[in-house]
Amino acid sequence: MCGICGFINFKTNLVKNERENLAVAHRMAEKLRHRGPDSWGEWVGEHAVFAHSRLAVIDVENGLQPMKRTVEGHEFVITYNGELYNTNDIRNDLKSHGYEFTTASDTEVLLYAYIHYGEKCAEMLNGIYAFVIWDSMRQRIFACRDRFGVKPFFYTQKNDVTVFASELKSLFEYPDVSAVLDKTGLCELFALSPARTQGVGVFKDVRELRPARYMIINRHGMTIKKYWSLVSGEHKDSYEETIEKVRSLVYDSVKRQLISDVPIATFLSGGLDSSIITAIGAMEMKKKGERLSTYSFDYEDNNKYFKASHFQPDSDTKWVPRMVEAFDTNHTYLVCPNNVLTELLEEALLAKDLPGMADVDASLLYFCREVKKNHTVVLSGECSDEIFGGYPWFREKKAFETHGFPWCYDLSIRNNILLDSVRETLDIDNYSRMRYEESIAEVPIFDGDNDEEKRRREISYLNINWFMTNLLDRKDRMSMASGLEVRVPFCDHRLVEYVWNIPWEMKNRDNVSKNVLREAAKGILPEDVRLRRKSPYPKTHNPHYEEAVKTLLDGIISDPNAPILALCDKTKLTSLLDGGSSDYGKPFFGQLMAGPQFIGYIVQMNYLLRDYKVRIL
């Protein structure tokens, strides 16, 4: 993976001020160096400037970027962040049309695919990507993002210039682009975050290219089009056929994503999703006479303080060794020290450019750094619960009756900490409801659905377009801040398309969550692992973390210059410090944003306002 950035201006010749423009591009790319520590490249054209920092994974020696190719006298240049999993299929197709390749990289394949097919190339791609191409033949820019937004892409327009980057911090290095929060941005942070409305960059005038879209920029302006969407329809396969199809799609997705010219591993929790990926990976590597490396995560003293809950019924302690033994993996047990969780809160904020899941993000950042010491690529189990219906709210009556996001029914705790004037101005309940209704209006309808199935399809759509994209964004930022590439096999669009229309009576047959996936794992996983109840990414239950994060909040409250005090009521913040351990209201994002995680979020919000010198309108 990599970091990409640059700017486009059709009203001026950028080559004339090449030195100045390269200096700007260099500053922007420096902010992305963590995403691509292996090499650096830049290109200046008449109307575009590209910069690129590379994490070398495929064809390490020859895949340098920005990459240029000249066809019939026309120059095409690409800067690309991502990984294609059907590279060989597309390469063979292009060879049949007479194209010759000088590298083994997917970058060259992607560039020639665009040269030959134009914007229709987007429909051919299987992978995770965000890329920008200069097309001298058509005198235009073509930018594209993967179907689920695994790879980030932000942009802003300043006068005649369009500036783009993989991360927000890079945009702010362009002259006169700064971190400003208006009402919309504040509503995003207090009503929805750590999730974010697709297309919204939170900061004023900053946008995000939504997943499954491509953008064309020429001297006449900008056009954005959607190239892929879910289609609702009747599922015609039998239960047995469905299981076989799911097994085939999952196996093929994992197998494709094991391709790498650098060491590869998997994250292993002992849960259904990571175990399936690990099992397939281990079997495929064994065919080559190799052992798969695996990593598991836990917190210091978690065995002492762990508390079972509705969201996290058990810990991973006994399940990981079961998988390691079953598949003879080269396993590393990683344990996050207590002090790291607060020490890395600020670095996790800087990695994401926005407040997130507090210690859950901080721990992931720590773990990714540890994994990077020996591996550059890992496979992870995100997205399975969103598409197979693994979360509690797929079954909870309240989710079917509530007009809102099923993971955040209640914003009262967030409303409560705001200053009265800020609360009245923002009206975060109304903002959340508006964004919810916008999303519901996008759900592809199938006339054959009854009311219950229609609602469950809505919940699934919300999960894919909100909950899942948030987890993918988090995983990208924490891993890429460590120079680590994370691949997500359950995000294969072929699998998502198929599972989207599997009826609930199959997905939840015999009242067993993710039944179809569990049945598909028969003969692959040990039976006890295959039937293990869902348990999410772990969070710490150590009371010392709550004490530590409260100390940070106390320091903020005591600082008269703390920027968050311009938004939050000091008395209400102080009340969070009183008493013992508490969830501080109803769960937000399941168990991920409850209790001390909410205090950690407030601390990260203050870091954001301070470190980015945010101006509030």
Which residues have a catalytic role annotated?
A: 2
Residues whose CB is less than 8 angstroms from the CB of residue 21 and which lie 6 or more positions away in sequence, other chains included: 7, 14, 44, 49
The torsion angles phi and psi of 447, rounded to 5 degrees, stand at -60, -20
Q: Hunting for tokens 């004023």 — which residue is that?
A: 204
CA 108 – CA 69 distance, rounded (Å): 9
Q: Determine the distance from the C-alpha atom of residue 96 to the mean position of all C-alpha atoms in its chain, rounded to a whole number.
A: 35
Q: CB–CB of 7/163 below 8 Å?
A: yes
Distances (CA, A) of 17 to 22, 37, 135, 170, 595: 9, 27, 21, 21, 53
Q: CB–CB of 296/270 below 8 Å?
A: yes
Which of these, 283, 301, 269, lies nearest to 533 by C-alpha position? Answer: 269
CA neighbours closer than 13 Å in the CB half-sphere of residue 423: 13
Q: CB–CB of 613/179 below 8 Å?
A: yes
CA 166 – CA 178 distance, rounded (Å): 16
Angle between helices 359-372 and 596-611 (to 10 degrees): 80
Angle ∠(464,466,471) on CA atoms, nearest 5: 85
Which 3 state secondary structure label does DSSP give 37?
A: strand
Say if strands 264-267 and 377-379 run parallel, antiparallel, or are unpaired: parallel
Which 3 state secondary structure label does DSSP give 297?
A: strand
Q: Where are the alpha helices (DSSP H) in 570-611?
A: 570-575, 596-611
Tokens standing for residue 47:
């109307």
Q: From the CB of residue 127, how many other CB atoms can be counted at a distance below 10 Å?
A: 22
Beta bridge partners of 335: 298
Tokens standing for residue 450:
């009854």
CA 338 – CA 82 distance, rounded (Å): 33
Strands annotated E in 21-125:
39-44, 48-54, 67-71, 74-84
Q: From the CB of residue 310, how many other CB atoms can be counted at a distance below 10 Å?
A: 10
